[in-house]
Chain A
Amino acid sequence: KQEVTQIPAALSVPEGENLVLNCSFTDSAIYNLQWFRQDPGKGLTSLLLIQSSQREQTSGRLNASLDKSSGRSTLYIAASQPGDSATYLCAVETMEYGNKLVFGAGTILRVKS
């Protein structure tokens, strides 16, 4: 059964720092991996989608990498800002039992001004 783990569970950094969020998954048979942002009381917003054949995706200050063989992904945030404070979740679309999306528990990020 696919399991997704995110480390750290929470992170507090000063404004301007570069930071890395980690996501690992147990079964490499995936279609894709997605990173999401969730603000308190809100829905999830997709940040980056990496297909299984890709190694990384970039959007603005965000860069996500995927190493399918080792079951790992990282989300790199450059020059963090207070507006980046949110919960970040990763999810893998797994081939197990058809198309099923499995989420990690998330990393709560706080960027202090």
Chain B
Amino acid sequence: EAQVTQNPRYLITVTGKKLTVTCSQNMNHEYMSWYRQDPGLGLRQIYYSMNVEVTDKGDVPEGYKVSRKEKRNFPLILESPSPNQTSLYFCASSPKLGELFFGEGSRLTVL
């Protein structure tokens, strides 16, 4: 089954404790991206990657890092999480200029 898998789905952590949200897709898509969704602000792009070893900033990259060492994986790293990073995070993938497939989301709370 074609899918985008995110882990963890739910996480509560404390300020400053590094965490990684993993994202994996099994569709051999070149393009992957991360979004955060906040009430009243909608979906905003954090980072995206056009292919292996190619990443670029979206609209709200501050406080986040990504890497794309393999085509299927695109982890989101929060080196020192802060409460303003409490949000619902989505990973997505697509073929180039094609239909976007989303993961189920990861709800992160930073205390």
Q: Decide if B64 is an interface residue (CB 8 Å cutoff).
A: no
Among B31, B59, B99, B100, the most chain A Cβ lie within 10 Å of the Cβ of B100
For chain A, what secondary structure do more than half of its interface residues adopt (helix, strand, loop), or is it mixed? strand
For chain B, what secondary structure do more than half of its interface residues adopt (helix, strand, loop), or is it mixed? strand
- The residue that A101 contacts in the complex, of B56, B100, B104, B105, with Cβ under 8 A, is B100
Q: Decide if B103 is an interface residue (CB 8 Å cutoff).
A: yes
B-contacting residues, A68-105, CB 8 Å: 89, 91, 93, 97-105
Contacts of B97 in A (CB 8 A): 31-32, 51, 93, 99
Q: Give the docked Cα–Cα distance between A36 and B56 (Å).
A: 24
A99 touches B42 (CB 8 A): no
Which residue on chain B has the smallest CB distance to residue A43? B102
How many chain-A residues does the 8 Å CB contact rule pick out?
25
- Against A, the Cβ 8 Å flags (1 = close, 0 = not) of B45-86 are 100101000001011000000000000000000000000000
Interface size class of B (residues with CB under 8 A): 20 to 34
Contacts of B98 in A (CB 8 A): 49
Contacts of A98 in B (CB 8 A): 50, 56
Q: Give the docked Cα–Cα distance between A91 and B92 (Å).
A: 13
Contacts of A51 in B (CB 8 A): 97
- B residues sitting closer than 8 Å to A (CB atoms) are 4, 31, 33, 35, 42-45, 48, 50, 56, 58-59, 90, 92, 97-105
- A residues sitting closer than 8 Å to B (CB atoms) are 31-32, 34, 36, 41-46, 49, 51, 89, 91, 93, 97-106
Q: Which 4 interchain pairs have the tightest Cβ spacing? A: A43-B102, A103-B43, A44-B102, A105-B42
